[in-house]
Chains A and B, each alone.
Chain A
């Protein structure tokens, strides 16, 4: 079964609202998780590194105030898209280090902002 779970898998929200996406490591602890976004028919772009108990590290060009990341426990990281706009519509994927097995990707969340 999936070892990295994302929830929800699909969400539609109105412009101006906020959406929270959860990434859970199911049977292991992850001090570091990564968040990626993928536009249709494009590659994955790293957004930020989520560190348990500390602030996230954002990649250049990613607005930290818009994409809030919280990694409050060793099994959960959340990404909140604040004041979402249609251009934020994308596929968001997290990954977590499963030690001997390497980084495992979550099932992804498709966000549509209308």
Chain B
């Protein structure tokens, strides 16, 4: 059974600081996704990582994938308040397009 864990679950950080969110998964998968969710809203796609070593960046966020370690990271650079949200990683279960979501990381950026 595929399990996806994120660390940390909650994160409070000052504006301007850097931090990394980790996503570990238990079985082989070549597809990993990062999403953002604002309170009461649905999911906003951030990154799609499809191969080992993939790195993608958008603004202050950068995501990477290490399929051998079964680990993805979401790095936040110089955080701003607008990044406050819950971030989920999701792994494609055996290429079936059934996403298994991580536990989520609730990020709060303090001004």
Residues of A at the B interface (CB closer than 8 Å) are 6, 32, 34, 36, 41-46, 49, 93, 95, 97, 102-108, 110
Contacts and interface: CB of A to CB of B under 8 A. Distances in A.
Nearest to A101: B45
Contacts of A97: 97
Interface of B: 33, 35, 40-43, 45, 48, 88, 90, 97-104, 106
Contacts of B102: 43
A43 to B, nearest CB: 5
B99 A95 contact: yes
Contacts of B90: 44
A36 B98 CA distance: 10
Contact of A108 (B33, B41, B45): B41
Nearest to B102: A43
A108 B103 contact: no
Contacts of B103: 43
Contacts of A108: 41-42
A103 B42 contact: no
Contact of A93 (B42, B48, B98, B100): B42
A45 B92 CA distance: 13
A93 B99 CA distance: 13
Contact of A34 (B40, B41, B88, B99): B99
A84 to B, nearest CB: 20
Contacts of A36: 101
Given A43-B88, A43-B102, A93 B43 contact: yes
Given A44-B88, A102-B45, A107-B42, 19 more contacts: A34-B98, A34-B99, A41-B106, A42-B104, A43-B88, A43-B103, A44-B43, A44-B90, A44-B99, A46-B98, A46-B99, A93-B42, A93-B43, A95-B99, A97-B97, A103-B97, A104-B45, A105-B42, A106-B42
B42 A32 contact: no
A49 B25 CA distance: 22
Nearest to B50: A102
28 contacts: A32-B97, A34-B97, A34-B98, A34-B99, A36-B101, A42-B104, A43-B88, A43-B101, A43-B102, A43-B103, A43-B104, A44-B88, A44-B90, A46-B98, A46-B100, A93-B42, A95-B99, A97-B97, A103-B97, A103-B99, A104-B45, A105-B35, A105-B45, A106-B42, A107-B41, A107-B42, A108-B42, A110-B40
